[in-house]
Amino acid sequence: MLRPALRYASAALGTGILLVAIFSALVVWFRSDLRQEIHLKIIERDAAVLYPMALQQLAESETAEATNTSAALTALLKSARQRGMLAVAIFDREGNTIEALPATQLFVELPTEDFLRLQTGGPLTRYHPAFPLDQYFAGVAREQRTAPVLEVLLPLPGAELNTWRGFVRYFIDARALSRELALIDHRINRQTAITLAVGAVLIALVMTLAAFIVQRAQRAVAERNEGLTRANFQLTLAAKASAIGQITSHLIHGLQGSVAGLRAVVTSGEADQSNPAWETAAGYTERLQTMIQETVALLGDAGAHASYELTGQELAATIHARNQASAAEKGVVFEVNRGLAAVIDSHRGSLLCLIASNLVQNAIRATASGRRVTVSLVQTDHTLVLTVQDEGAGITASMREHLFEPGRSGRLGGSGLGLAISQLLARQIGATLVLDSTDATGTTFRLSLPISAA
């Protein structure tokens, strides 16, 4: 299945290609119409010049001495002497040939179709890019058999309305006209190419911008959906943690007496003190009792709304005392830098120590014997920064994607709740817990807790 970004890019590309194709078709169509209109105007230009000239020549020939219509029409033959004129043919009002120049013209006649069209009173103009001269003139050289020729047919009006004295046809050398039309075509083609290029670039820019905006909007929607999902998950986790907290409170109170009795039995004189298993059990029991006592104290403070101040030295000492035994048992060097001068309330300080213990225990498990786990407590501006750094093998990329989700553990037998609970506790005190760095040389977690100015 294609990724969303690739789908959007493909859709934008397809739409852009379609728009460019439609735009190109429209431009080519307009170009064809424009070219045809310009050609027609230029081709009709010579007819517009010849028509009044022919009428003037006809009027000058109508004198008292030249009352014959045919004689008056033949006066138009003097146009054949004009520069660029190839041939002139005169026809009477019935379409019959009266006279033609030059005499080398072959089969001089007025086609019936042209005769009927001239009856409407308008001139006819035709441009022949490759006129067959050898079919209309005798003695044409082989290399000059075709040439560009302009054909103009004019109706000559009579004295009465809608009557005709005759018709005249001109064959004009159109080489200059051919060059002019070619130049116009070149300019039209160039403008068409520029228009297509600019239009395609603009369409590409618009489609790129539109795709970018749509993709950004989709990304924003996805981020909001992800944020809502995460918030819902955190609310659900908080609700479950609240219920678990109540159950844990009841359980801790119930275990307090039992664990105290168990420790008394393990450390009594009746126990086999020479057995290493008894010695280990005694250590576990002592740590378990200590943890229960700390949790009971924390729950008691929270329930009684008791609050007192903890200094940075006290926080560091508490973190060191709670985790030194585990580090020594595994042979890990454990250090706590005690350079913090800040003072915070007991509620946040106790939760901070719990979070630190979770992080330190994870760090000790991930660190080989002989290597180091370091806790640092420093103050920057109005923020207390706790860092826990180990020298383990790092966290895998697959685990980093779900690092603070419950049920995800990187070690065999782990519950995957430690980091999730730690982050939840951090939020309870207004702190931020993040993975600062991880690689093959170790991992560092950082907790940032805003505190008031001294």
Residue 402 CB coordination number (10 Å): 13
User: Residues 158, 163, 166, CA angle at the centre, nearest 5°?
Assistant: 65
Instruction: Name the 3-class secondary structure at 90.
Output: strand
256 confidence band (pLDDT: 50, 70, 90)? low
Closest among 257, 301, 262, 294 to 278, alpha carbons compared:
262
Residue 216 within a domain: no
Residue 214 within a domain: no
- Say if residue 64's pLDDT is above 50: no
454 confidence band (pLDDT: 50, 70, 90)? very low
Domain with residue 161: its CATH number is 3.30.450.20
pLDDT in tens, 270-318: 555 556 555 556 555 665 656 566 665 555 555 545 556 778 788 888 8
Give how many domains the chain has, as a whole number: 2
- Say if residue 419's pLDDT is above 50: yes
What span, in angstroms and rounded, lies between the C-alpha atoms of 370 and 280?
21
Domain boundary among 154, 173, 192: 173
360 confidence band (pLDDT: 50, 70, 90)? very high
Residue 386 near residue 377, CB atoms below 8 Å: yes
Residue 83 within a domain: yes
Residue 257 near residue 296, CB atoms below 8 Å: no
What is the identity of the amino acid at 198? V
410 confidence band (pLDDT: 50, 70, 90)? low
Look over the chain and give the mean of its residue pLDDT values, rounded to a whole number: 80
Residue 364 within a domain: yes
What is the average pLDDT across 138-150?
A: 87
How many residues are there in the chain? 454
Residue 241 within a domain: no
Residue 194 CB coordination number (10 Å): 10
Identity of the highest mean pLDDT range in 182-196, 263-277, 334-348:
182-196
Residue 65 within a domain: no
What span, in angstroms and rounded, lies between the C-alpha atoms of 2 and 295?
52
Percent pLDDT > 70 in the chain is 76
Residue 331, Cα to own-chain centre: how many angstroms? 55
Domain with residue 386: its CATH number is 3.30.565.10
Residue 52 within a domain: no
- Say if residue 242's pLDDT is above 50: yes
Diameter of the chain measured on Cα atoms? 165
Residue 305, Cα to own-chain centre: how many angstroms? 55
Residue 329 within a domain: yes
Residue 116 near residue 153, CB atoms below 8 Å: no
Domain boundary among 138, 173, 208: 173
Residue 115 near residue 95, CB atoms below 8 Å: yes
Domain boundary among 173, 205, 226: 173
- Say if residue 2's pLDDT is above 60: no
Predicted local distance difference test score (pLDDT) of residue 151: 93
Provide the domain limits for residue 436: 307-450
What span, in angstroms and rounded, lies between the C-alpha atoms of 118 and 175?
26
